[in-house]
Each structure stands twice: as C-alpha cells, then as structure tokens.
Amino acid sequence: MNRFSLLVVVLALVAGVALGLYLASSFVDTSTVPPQQVLALTPADQDDYIINVADAFAVDGDLRLARDRLARLRDPQIATRVEQLASNYYSANKNKSASNLIHLAIALGSKNGGLIALVITPSPTSVPTNTTVNAPVFSNVRATNAPPPTDTPTRKATAVPVYVVVTNENPFIVLPTNTPTITNTPLPTNTRRPSTRVPTPTITPTFTPVPPPPAPIWEPDRSRWPGTVYYEPANVEPGQGYWHLAHAIYCDAFDSSDNRKYDFGCEEGPGGGAGTSIYVMSGGNVIDVWAGGENVTDDPTIVGDKKKPGDICQCDYSFESANVKINVRGAPSDAIGGFCLCSVNFGWGSRAHVRYFLFFEYRIR
C-alpha cells in the first residue's frame, strides 16, 4: 500500500512538470520583428514631401527636426534642391507654402539674393494698445469673454446662533433650548424700468485712395532724354514687394562741362566722357534684358558676364546696346527700354558717346 501511494505521488509530479513545460512553451513569443519597410517616392512625391517639411518648419521653427526629415530622402545635395524648388515653386504659385520654402532654403544656408529679397518685409511700428476691461483673452485656447460681475443678494441674520460642538466618534452640534431663531430679512425688490431703444448710428466707411508708386528720379529731366526711351512701372498691389527703378541718369558727352546745370556726376562716373555704355545697379540681383520680345540676358555678345564685386564700374552689369528693355528678375519689376546711343545735343545718329546709369531697389508698394 505504501509503495502504491509513492508511485501515485511520483506520477503526479511527472505529470505536473510535463504540464508546466507545455504551458511555458505555449506562451513563448515566436514572432519575429518584421523587416523595416522602405518607402519609394517619385520625384513629384519627394517635392510634396519637402513642401510639407517647409510648412512644418514654419510652424515649429525646429531646424534640426527639419534637417532630420529631409535626410530621409538621402539626397546629398538637399540644400541646393530645396533652394531650386523654392525658386520654381514661388514662380508658379506665390502662396504661403512658397514663402515657407524660401524661409527653409535660407535657413539651410541659401545665399540666393533673389530669394532673400522675396522675404524682406518692413519692420512694423509697434503701437501701444489700451487693454479693455472684460476683453477677450487670446491664447492657444478658444477666447472667452469674462462674465460681468453680478450682485448676489445676501441674507441678513438678526442674531448669531450659539452652539456647542460635542467631540466623539460621531460629532454633532447641540443647540441650547434658549437659542434665538434666525429671522431672514427680505431684500428690497428692484423695479425694472422699461428700456428705451436707442438707435445705433450707421457708420459709413470712408475709402482713402491709394497713392500711385513713386516715379523714378530722372537726371536730367525727361525732356532732355532721347525720345526713344520709355518707362514701364510694375503692376503691383499695395503691400506687394517689387523692384523699383529709383534713379536714372543720362549722360550726354556733348553737354558742356562748363555748364554745371547738366552735371550729375557724369564726369566722375565710369566710362568718362567717351563712354558708350549702359550701367545697371541692382544690388547684385540678376537682370533680364529683352530685345525683339526675346530674353537675351545670356547672350554674351549683347550683355556680357555679370560683374564681380569691386569691379571698376561699380555696377552689376555694363553693356553696349540699343533698343532693349531691362528689368530685375525674381519679383515684379519696373522696366526701362528703348535706349539709343545718340546725343540730344548733336546729330550723330546712334553712335554718340552717351551713358545710362540705372539704379534699381527692392521696396514694398
């Protein structure tokens, strides 16, 4: 009998160990980590991805996070790509995302003067404002109006009750038998007066006409310029940035050097009295030159190469041509054209020694 009992115990232990091993093996996680997926994007999808990164950067201002997001494209020239996309996208759209792309390109180190000029805005003048009582409070939570103070009626007690506190496990208040009762004194009732409606005055808005853009400073007066020269102001709305022809000088070699009335620094300017050139000052920005309706800016036989900083002409471009139109690239721009290398004082046709000096500057309409 003892041996049988011992055998039963041993079999029970073996069965328990086997059941434990089975249960333990059933809970073992045999799943494997799935391989990381790689998302393949088309060039158009990558451009959309860059635009999304620029929009996010405009909200959080986190350049390090923007760089990490762009690094996922595995493009070793990502800064140049963002700069090129900003230029092309702004030319086609001119919306908020285009401005965000320009800011991201500049943050990544872009030195493109045309892009930098597009985001130049004048610093607003701060005007102190008076805080209105109960005015809406704005934060990242919906604005709410502070409720006006209300008069809460209060009850007046004729006598203060006398009480005794009995401390034990269940405290309670014992009122003496001679405790005076509290009498509520009714408050006076306000009689509501009928309201008289006051008519609201009608405010008629007044419209102030927007003054036209300033005209260039012509030296000498336009009446002393060749009749072939014409000026086309940029068609921009108020608040829009554009390139403005601020100053234009015409130097005629046949103006007498003794007559200081027509001396606008021509003798000291590049080219001297025998020069026959057009000098353009555009703050280092690229210009467009048009001849016969075609852009000939890159034709070295007409315009030539862009001047390097510190060039002796102290200008960005210098070339000899006639009957062309000039404007600055990258934004709406004033234009001037119809140049004639001829003198208004001497009939030498189109080969007289004259010079034109054109000064462009970026401003807000």
Task: Give, in words, the CATH class of 43-118.
Answer: mainly alpha
Both ends of the chain: CA-CA distance in Å?
112
**What's phi and psi for 229, nearest 5 deg?**
-75, 135
Classified as helix, coil or strand, 26 is helix
Left (φ > 0), alpha (ψ -120 to 50) or beta: where does 265 sit? left
pLDDT per residue, tens digit, the chain (365 aa), is 566 677 777 778 878 877 877 776 666 554 454 554 445 689 889 999 999 999 999 999 999 999 999 999 989 989 999 998 888 888 888 888 989 989 998 999 888 888 788 777 554 555 555 544 454 444 444 445 555 655 655 565 555 555 455 555 555 555 555 655 666 767 767 767 766 677 776 777 776 777 778 889 999 888 888 888 999 999 999 999 999 999 999 888 777 555 556 667 787 778 776 677 888 888 889 999 998 889 998 888 888 778 888 888 888 888 887 789 999 999 999 999 988 888 887 765 666 788 889 999 999 98
User: pTM (2 decimals)?
Assistant: 0.44
Q: How far is CA 173 from CA 160, 161, 163, 285, in A?
A: 15, 11, 6, 90
Q: How far is CA 288 from CA 93, 225, 314, 334, in A?
A: 21, 23, 19, 11
Q: Which amino acid is at 7?
A: L
Q: Where are the domains positioned within the chain?
A: 43-118, 217-364
Q: Which amino acid is at 361?
A: E
Q: Regarding beta strands 217-219 and 241-252, do their DSSP bridges make them parallel or antiparallel, or are they unpaired?
A: parallel
Q: How many CA atoms lie within 13 A of 111 on its CB side?
A: 1
Q: Is the peptide bond before 220 cis (omega within 30 degrees of 0)?
A: yes
Distance CA 106, CA 104 (A): 5
